[in-house]
A = this chain, B = another copy of it.
């Protein structure tokens, strides 16, 4: 059994996931964020594996978001890091830029698949810049801030997460119900 954060698993063998809420107002306590809890709740239900969450609340600051992603991937050893918020076209929307700053490889299929599903629901989905990529042993996925959009986006890509984490040398992740997630288009 591992005693450190390496390999995306905590010392008790649970897979370690990072959840990063990016929001000026939420990080100042002016607003109760609903995106972070929605992400964590989704992941807890989707996976039957033991999970250990690292939760971070960050302002819409590109360097601060990038630092948080590096910390979760490199020091905390998360095998999956999901961000929520900051994916739009406004000046303060910097989550995607920070993600592209830190990833070794971009995985364009995630953004495409999530936007393809979202735009059948809401026309403003084309404004989302959400991306995904690999940093070391961590898969990083950007999600929007709305709980409804979070669920739709994760539904579109969750089946690929265990295979990706496995390819990166991370822990074995088990989905509770693979049949619940059919390919989307």
Contact = CB atoms under 8 A, between A and B. Distances in A.
A115 interface: yes
Interface residues of A, number: 41
10 contacts: A90-B168, A107-B126, A107-B127, A108-B111, A109-B125, A113-B126, A120-B183, A121-B183, A126-B157, A127-B163
How many copies of the chain does the oligomer comprise? 3
Given A107-B89, A129-B107, A160 B113 contact: no
Interface of A: 88-90, 93, 97, 105-113, 115-116, 119-129, 134, 139, 156-157, 159-160, 163-164, 167-168, 181, 183-185
B128 A109 contact: yes
